[in-house]
A and B are shown apart, each in its own frame.
Chain A
Amino acid sequence: MNSTLHIVQQEIPLTWYLLLSAVLFCLGIVGFLIKRNLITMFMSIELMLNAVNLSFVTFAHQWHEVKGQIFVFFVMMVAAAEAAVGLAIIIAVFRARATLAVDRIDLMKL
């Protein structure tokens, strides 16, 4: 064991971070699957993205690699862009269909 790990060990173990990340991700998936409201599903996606971010940061800290942190910025940027476009689409859908229940937005079904 080298000294850097030793510091982490003194604070909070790496495993916990990763477990938290996995739990958050699973919550996101489950939320996405069981919710019908588009906005809730959207939030679930954000949750999944942030879970991934957490694991990125964790590993970056673990390996002393700045790349992981840079990746997090990318993800956050994409998430912001996605939120802008996604919310615009959601508003447009709501105006057209007067509902946000995904089960009813199925006009493109064969």
Chain B
Amino acid sequence: MNGHLHLWLVPLLPFTGFLINGILGRRMPKAAVTAVALLTTFASFAVVLNATIASTSGVPLPYTEICSRPWINAGSLHIDFSFVLDQLAIVMLLVVTGVGFLIHIYSVGYMHDEESYWRFFSYMNLFMFFMTVLVLAGNALLMFVGWEGVGLTSYLLIGYYFKKSSAADAGKKAFIVNRIGDFGFLIGLFLLLATFGTLTFSEIAAKLAANPAWSGGILTTIALCLFFGATGKSAQLPLYVWLPDAMEGPTPVSALIHAATMVTAGVYMVARMHFLFDRSLFALNLIAIVGAATALFAALIALVQNDIKRVLAYSTVSQLGYMFLGCGVTAYSAAIFHLMTHAFFKALFFLAAGSVIHALGGEQDLRKMGGLRKKIPITFWTMTIPVLAISGIPPFAGFFSKDAILYEDFLRGSGPGGEILWFVGIVTAMLTALYMCRLWYMTFMGESRSPGLHPHESNWTMLGPLVILALLSTVGGWFGIDRVAAYLRPADGSIPEGGSWQLEIILSAVAVAVALIGWYLADRFYRRQPGIPGQFVAKFPVIYKVLSNKFFVDEIYGFTFVKPLLAGSKYLLEWVVDVGILGGSAWLLGGIATLGGAVLQRWQSGNLRSYAAWLAVGAAVLLLFVLAPYMFGAAGINITWAGH
């Protein structure tokens, strides 16, 4: 090992795949498109793996690789195009490229019959490029490039079926809502630049370390701006609204971008800039509160959704809330741990759901499923594991990471805040188990509710990634939070917590107990006494209505923001400014010219003699004008006529 990790290859390889498939893909055979897409992604994963191994055997972390110095040079501002590899980036990169590669394999089977197969894979590779840039970025500006880029590819892939207007609208919604968040991110960047004079993470960290007493004030403002960006990208309150609609994209996209990787970018960003967030208690508390509120809020909505992918989408929002709950109490390692296990089991969830949808020929409505356990057994088992994992049943991955977050919350929250956050988390955990088991029962148990359908198991390009992810979702948590925290400590600077193992066991037991309660309730409602949910709805119609309409948030946003904006655009900008002022002045100028032309063209009679007459008259008038003073004696010049 000569110490060169060639990190630049990690983003560049998928980018090459994007260029090849994007430019030539239309004319290439499917097999070639597949080969390019998979090989570049796998090669990228291999480089990451190589770097990881190198980092355990001698290459010191953080490892910096400067690709271009300076990248931007303006006045006193110098920004390098630099990649930084530390423990945090390694974990994230392994997840992004590893899970990304598995999802690429799965897509080969899932997207096989699509017309623009090449377009799908070129976008997917482009996403891998931007996501790895985001993760590896050594400064906030380069991170922002990746941040915007994943937003772009997210938009492109949500609107992949652009002929369907709902998909096109969902893409636009995702893009616009993300733009609102990015506005906050951008302001944060400007403030960082104004405050520290640099955007490089290590330099900011060094400046903060040199001033241990510096906290609050401008740092709070910066942290809040950046966190606002994170709420957009990571679908937190109040900007989560785009994620459920993003399910219009193909299922592998939902798995890769809207569950496993891109939406966790906000969590990653907060962990990456932990040195900044650590200095603002207010921002941290707000992050924890927003995370907890989002977790609970989304879980409540997920309870009554009937579209299998929407349930999963709200569950993603809810789990992202958990991650911010961890970040908010500076338990970054727990948040990243949950990010990792969530990437495994949620990607698996989506892929398995995709397999179910595939088996049913495109049906996504839970009410039309049921009894699929016997018909598609492998999908059934690979769906059962993430249900157990997300519900927090040991020994599956979700138990360890979620337990770590809840434990840290209980310990570290300021004042009684910790217990409240923990309580919200526990309630959410119960709801999570309930809605996930509901989904599981409605899909696989009981009798088929659509007897006409003949489900078929998917092929092995789809089932293979499912099985690998199922394995990861099972063992992914066995590292344990202690080992993960110890590994990440140099990168996220978290302090070991001072709890006791008795407390840890009690809290874990409570968490498992509420998960089992959730499961029991689901078992009762959806298997043994399927009439109960109906009675419940009849008894509390208002609650059901509010939940099934997602708290009317879309309607409220539509009424308070979208409608006035559209009305303003239409009446003020379009009618008054565009049509009225701009169009009107153009029309006026044109009108004057036309009118003038209409009058003047009368002179253009084509009669040569009339032109000559006008010329003569003109000359006569001119002559008169010149001679008038002499003729009427106004001027004193005496022309002496000969012959006096």
Please list the residues of chain A having a beta carbon within 8 angstroms of any beta carbon in chain B.
Answer: 5, 8-9, 13-15, 29, 32-34, 36, 41, 102-103, 105-110
- Per-position contact with A for B587-616: 1 when CB-CB < 8 Å, else 0? 000000000000001001111110011001
Write the chain B residue with the least CB distance to A44: B612
B643 near A: Cβ within 8 Å?
yes
Q: How far is the CA of A5 from the CA of B613 in the complex (A)?
A: 38
3 closest A-B pairs (Cβ-Cβ)? Answer: A109-B606, A106-B606, A14-B642
Within the complex, which residue of A9, A13, A32, A103 is in contact with B607, where a contact is CB–CB below 8 Å?
A: A103
B612 touches A13 (CB 8 A): no
Q: For residue A108, which residues in chain B have a CB less than 8 angstroms away from its CB? A: 606
Write the chain B residue with the least CB distance to A102: B608
Write the chain B residue with the least CB distance to A5: B642
Q: For residue A14, which residues in chain B have a CB less than 8 angstroms away from its CB? A: 641-643
B609 touches A33 (CB 8 A): yes
- Per-position contact with A for B57-84: 1 when CB-CB < 8 Å, else 0? 0000000000000000000000000000
- The interface size bin for chain B is 10 to 19
Query: B601, B608, B641: which has the most chain A beta carbons within 10 Å?
Result: B608
A33 touches B642 (CB 8 A): no
B616 touches A15 (CB 8 A): no
Within the complex, which residue of B601, B608, B609, B642 is in contact with A9, where a contact is CB–CB below 8 Å?
A: B642
B613 touches A33 (CB 8 A): yes
In the assembled complex, how far is the CB of residue B615 from the closest CB belonging to chain A, in whole angstroms? 9
Q: How far is the CA of A103 from the CA of B605 in the complex (A)?
A: 10
Q: For residue A106, which residues in chain B have a CB less than 8 angstroms away from its CB? A: 605-607
Whether A33 touches B612, Cβ cut-off 8 Å, given contacts A8-B642, A9-B643, A15-B642, is yes
Whether A110 touches B642, Cβ cut-off 8 Å, given contacts A29-B616, A33-B612, A105-B608, is no
B642 touches A13 (CB 8 A): yes
A102 touches B609 (CB 8 A): yes
Q: For residue A103, which residues in chain B have a CB less than 8 angstroms away from its CB? A: 607-609
Q: How far is the CA of A13 from the CA of B601 in the complex (A)?
A: 48
In the assembled complex, how far is the CB of residue A34 from the closest CB belonging to chain B, in whole angstroms? 8
B643 touches A33 (CB 8 A): no
In the assembled complex, how far is the CB of residue A37 from the closest CB belonging to chain B, in whole angstroms? 11
In the assembled complex, how far is the CB of residue B492 from the closest CB belonging to chain A, in whole angstroms? 81
Q: How far is the CA of A110 from the CA of B641 in the complex (A)?
A: 49
Write the chain A residue with the least CB distance to B608: A102
Write the chain B residue with the least CB distance to A108: B606
- Given contacts A14-B643, A32-B609, list 12 more A-B pairs with CB under 8 A: A5-B642, A8-B642, A33-B609, A33-B616, A102-B609, A103-B609, A106-B606, A106-B607, A107-B606, A109-B604, A110-B601, A110-B606
Write the chain B residue with the least CB distance to A13: B643
Q: For residue A41, which residues in chain B have a CB less than 8 angstroms away from its CB? A: 608
Q: For residue B642, which residues in chain A have a CB less than 8 angstroms away from its CB? A: 5, 8-9, 13-15
Q: How far is the CA of A32 from the CA of B612 in the complex (A)?
A: 8
Within the complex, which residue of A15, A36, A107, A110 is in contact with B643, where a contact is CB–CB below 8 Å?
A: A15
Q: How far is the CA of A36 from the CA of B643 in the complex (A)?
A: 41
In the assembled complex, how far is the CB of residue A42 from the closest CB belonging to chain B, in whole angstroms? 12
In the assembled complex, how far is the CB of residue B218 from the closest CB belonging to chain A, in whole angstroms? 71
Can you give 12 A-B contacts (C-beta < 8 A)? Answer: A5-B642, A8-B642, A14-B641, A14-B643, A15-B642, A15-B643, A29-B616, A32-B609, A33-B609, A41-B608, A106-B607, A110-B606
Q: How far is the CA of A34 from the CA of B607 in the complex (A)?
A: 12
Q: For residue B605, which residues in chain A have a CB less than 8 angstroms away from its CB? A: 106, 109
In the assembled complex, how far is the CB of residue B396 from the closest CB belonging to chain A, in whole angstroms? 87
Q: How far is the CA of A102 from the CA of B608 in the complex (A)?
A: 6
In the assembled complex, how far is the CB of residue A93 from the closest CB belonging to chain B, in whole angstroms? 11
Q: For residue B612, which residues in chain A have a CB less than 8 angstroms away from its CB? A: 32-33
Q: For residue A32, which residues in chain B have a CB less than 8 angstroms away from its CB? A: 609, 612
In the assembled complex, how far is the CB of residue B619 from the closest CB belonging to chain A, in whole angstroms? 9
Write the chain B residue with the least CB distance to A17: B642
Q: For residue B609, which residues in chain A have a CB less than 8 angstroms away from its CB? A: 32-34, 36, 102-103
In the assembled complex, how far is the CB of residue B624 from the closest CB belonging to chain A, in whole angstroms? 14
Q: How far is the CA of A108 from the CA of B607 in the complex (A)?
A: 10
- Per-position contact with A for B630-644: 1 when CB-CB < 8 Å, else 0? 000000000001110
Within the complex, which residue of B604, B607, B608, B613 is in contact with A110, where a contact is CB–CB below 8 Å?
A: B604
Q: How far is the CA of A105 from the CA of B608 in the complex (A)?
A: 9
Q: How far is the CA of A32 from the CA of B609 in the complex (A)?
A: 7
Write the chain B residue with the least CB distance to A29: B616
Query: B601, B604, B606, B616: which has the most chain A beta carbons within 10 Å?
Result: B606
Q: How far is the CA of A14 from the CA of B640 in the complex (A)?
A: 11
Q: How far is the CA of A32 from the CA of B607 in the complex (A)?
A: 12
Q: For residue B607, which residues in chain A have a CB less than 8 angstroms away from its CB? A: 102-103, 106
In the assembled complex, how far is the CB of residue A50 from the closest CB belonging to chain B, in whole angstroms? 17
Q: For residue A105, which residues in chain B have a CB less than 8 angstroms away from its CB? A: 608
Q: For residue B604, which residues in chain A have a CB less than 8 angstroms away from its CB? A: 109-110
Query: B613, B616, B642, B643: which has the most chain A beta carbons within 10 Å?
Result: B642
In the assembled complex, how far is the CB of residue A77 from the closest CB belonging to chain B, in whole angstroms? 23
Q: How far is the CA of A100 from the CA of B636 in the complex (A)?
A: 50
B641 touches A15 (CB 8 A): yes
Q: For residue B606, which residues in chain A have a CB less than 8 angstroms away from its CB? A: 106-110
Q: For residue A36, which residues in chain B have a CB less than 8 angstroms away from its CB? A: 609
In the assembled complex, how far is the CB of residue B71 from the closest CB belonging to chain A, in whole angstroms? 62
Q: For residue A33, which residues in chain B have a CB less than 8 angstroms away from its CB? A: 609, 612-613, 616
In the assembled complex, how far is the CB of residue B303 from the closest CB belonging to chain A, in whole angstroms? 77
Q: For residue A5, which residues in chain B have a CB less than 8 angstroms away from its CB? A: 642
In the assembled complex, how far is the CB of residue B644 from the closest CB belonging to chain A, in whole angstroms? 8
Query: B601, B604, B607, B643: which has the most chain A beta carbons within 10 Å?
Result: B643
Write the chain B residue with the least CB distance to A109: B606
Q: How far is the CA of A107 from the CA of B616 in the complex (A)?
A: 23
In the assembled complex, how far is the CB of residue A47 from the closest CB belonging to chain B, in whole angstroms? 14
